[in-house]
A and B are shown apart, each in its own frame.
Chain A
Amino acid sequence: MAMSSASAINPSGAKPQPFFAPGRVLIYTLLIVTSIYYLIPLYVMIITSLKDLTMIREGNIFVPTLRPTFDAWIKAWSAACTGLNCTGLAPGFWNSVFITVPSVIVSIAVASISGYSLANWPFKLAEWCFTILLVGSFIPYQVFLYPLVIITREMGIYSTLYAVIFVHTVFGLPILTLLFRNYFASLPEELFKAARVDGAGFWRIFFQVIAPMSLPIFTVAVILQVTGIWNDFLFGVIYAGPTNYPMTVQLNNIVNSLQGVKEYNVEMAATILTGLVPLSIYFLSGKYFVRGIAAGAVKG
């Protein structure tokens, strides 16, 4: 065993670490460099939206302007042309709200009660249906596109808000029911027994005992649904009807049907506006968001 040479240092106490240990520097460098790849689009979106058209033509997409203006934002909101109307994205925003809020409420209501029934009052037919539901969640939605048109037409709600709410409930059901069922099944069984001895029935146990204990899972579900439904495009286009097109549809139509010059700054402003709601939820909810997608992703 080699002995250290003339140095007379006796190791004692904590080992001194150089502040910039090479391994750590590499790690942080890699992290920062990759962060740039992720941040560039956001950066570009923002600075482009703050320019006017001359700056765009003459300038460089990575260089911000020294004279930022919110004109593009205002135009995007109230005057941009989507399709035949030039009323901006504002109507689309409200449509998205009218689609998202009821859809989130209905889909979570149905899924939570279904999950509760499956967890605490199971019976054979329900178990089978749930398994099929889970398998069905993997089926490409294209298989359901036209049949859902037929079904909503038969229900008399095709091309209305009700249709798109129904569709979102249908497609949210597998993941959400799984989420709720697993959560409720993990609650102590004796609590449920005590409530039955107290005389509480199916609905009372749900509303007065189970639900108050389940705030975390409801939060995760809401975040999952709001993000997914707000960002939806296809179901909005097919089922909601032209007067109810959500913001994402309008955003898509801005660029595809502009008369005259392409207004990139307006386009970027519109893009930011559309992404604002889910992004805010994301930044505000952090941990719950991650828990939501992790829960959504880990099926079974």
Chain B
Amino acid sequence: MNTSVAVKDLTLNFGASTVLKKMNLDVQEGEFIVLLGPSGCGKSTLLNCIAGLLEINEGEVWIKGKNVTWDEPSDRGIGMVFQSYALYPQMTVRGNLSFGLKIAGTSKDEIEKRVARAAEILQIGPLLDRKPGALSGGQRQRVAIGRALVRDVDVFLFDEPLSNLDAKLRSELRVELKRLHNRLQNTMIYVTHDQIEALTLADRIAIMRGGIIQQLAPPQEVYNRPVNLFVAGFIGSPGMNMLNGAVVDGGKSFQVGGTKVSLAGYDGGTNIDRSKAILGLRPEHLLIHHEPEPGMTIPALVELDEPMGADSLVWMECEGHQLSVRVPVENRPTAGTTVHLKVEIHKASVFDAESELRI
């Protein structure tokens, strides 16, 4: 597989603060990579740098084997889709789609061909002669994608394209985007703060924080083996349960309050004791047992539960922590009872409390 887009030691300063610090990223051909993170983490900034809309201070941007660091956006072989669609309001849909091609001097026939192809793929044929003002949000976003499609480029950049849509439309278009990627097999770099979009769409996710990529890995790995506390807390809804404690017994057990849990079967390296550690358990990796199993279960007091359709989220108090456990709705325990939670240790993550790294 070839590298489609590469960012090398990219640094960007805004005044006195450094927004992106010596960033490195390699995107493979045909890959769908998602830049995910909270606001201000620099994901949009990075995308705009790749697009050439922002000037960088240090480093290089390579697209398709060419150094495009000083090239204009339109010369980089990219198409871009914006959060607010950014359609030219005075032009028809057809006009919007063909604007860039006209500037590039493409022949009329070629323009017609490409517009027709984009219209067919995105199902916007009947809209071609309307103006953006007469379109719904979902239609506008398709036209915005169409504008990138007609450019016949290999790399598509998406800047939070679904954030302006309501929940239902968002999930519909999410599926459409996945279908589109399957069909076109283009390289797509996608920015979002919504982890659901990231988990469902990405081949790899780059989680960013403070201008630094925390972890770059396929969704399942990010979910199951988060590289640090931040990633663990960011991915997954409802969030991962965090238990403060220590690694003891030569790395064989985790002590939380008065309970010890065996670390046998843990997917990671724990040979040394650590006096301050955190055990991370996702709500679905805790099973309710009614009998204690020493070394395998933790006692917890049931407080309340939140029924969510098929599952229920049960909140419990355990050794001074609040835990949430996902339970099928018919098996909800009653409030006030003490249960014993079996820990699926091979799905858990242990973090060093100071470095916040996964052990």
Contacts and interface: CB of A to CB of B under 8 A. Distances in A.
Do A and B have CB atoms closer than 8 angstroms in the complex?
Answer: yes
Interface of A: 188, 190-191, 193-200, 204, 208-209, 212-213
A190 B82 contact: yes
A197 B100 contact: yes
Contacts of B79: 197
Contact of B84 (A188, A198, A199): A188
Contacts of B78: 197
Given A193-B53, A193-B80, A198 B99 contact: yes
- 8 interchain residue pairs of minimum CB distance: A199-B74, A198-B100, A190-B86, A194-B86, A212-B90, A190-B82, A199-B103, A197-B73
A199 B72 contact: yes
A113 B139 CA distance: 33
A205 to B, nearest CB: 10
Nearest to A212: B90
B147 interface: yes
B322 interface: no
B51 interface: yes
B100 A188 contact: no
Contacts of A198: 74, 99-100, 103, 147
A213 B86 contact: no
A194 B103 contact: no
Interface of B: 48, 51, 53, 72-75, 78-80, 82-90, 99-100, 103-104, 147, 159
A254 B85 CA distance: 61
A209 B78 CA distance: 21
Residue in A191, A193, A199, A204 whose Cβ sees the most chain B Cβ within 10 Å: A199
Contacts of A200: 74, 99-100, 103
Contacts of B82: 190, 193-194
28 contacts: A190-B82, A190-B84, A190-B86, A191-B88, A193-B48, A193-B51, A193-B82, A193-B86, A194-B80, A194-B88, A195-B99, A196-B73, A197-B53, A197-B73, A197-B74, A197-B78, A198-B74, A198-B99, A198-B100, A198-B103, A199-B73, A199-B74, A199-B103, A199-B104, A200-B100, A200-B103, A208-B99, A212-B90
A40 to B, nearest CB: 47
Contacts of A195: 88, 99
A191 B53 CA distance: 12
Given A196-B74, A197-B51, A199-B104, A191 B99 contact: no
A196 B85 CA distance: 14
Contacts of A204: 103
Contacts of B88: 191, 194-195, 209
A190 B144 CA distance: 12
A204 B72 CA distance: 15
Contacts of A196: 53, 72-74
B189 to A, nearest CB: 14
Given A193-B80, A194-B82, A213 B90 contact: yes
A194 B80 CA distance: 7
A194 B74 contact: no
Contacts of A208: 99
A212 B131 CA distance: 14
Contacts of B51: 193, 197
A195 B96 CA distance: 10
A194 B100 CA distance: 9
A190 B74 CA distance: 15
A184 to B, nearest CB: 15
Given A197-B79, A199-B103, 11 more contacts: A188-B86, A190-B83, A190-B159, A191-B88, A193-B51, A193-B53, A194-B87, A194-B88, A197-B53, A197-B80, A200-B103
A141 B74 CA distance: 47
B49 to A, nearest CB: 13
Contacts of A199: 72-75, 100, 103-104
Contacts of A197: 51, 53, 73-74, 78-80, 100
A127 to B, nearest CB: 15
Contact of A191 (B73, B75, B86, B159): B86
A194 B147 contact: yes
Nearest to B104: A199
Contacts of B84: 188, 190
Contacts of A190: 82-86, 159
A213 B53 contact: no
A208 B87 CA distance: 13
A131 B88 CA distance: 31
B89 A213 contact: yes
A209 B48 CA distance: 21
B178 to A, nearest CB: 23
Nearest to A187: B89
B300 to A, nearest CB: 49
Contacts of B86: 188, 190-191, 193-194
B103 to A, nearest CB: 4
Contacts of A209: 88
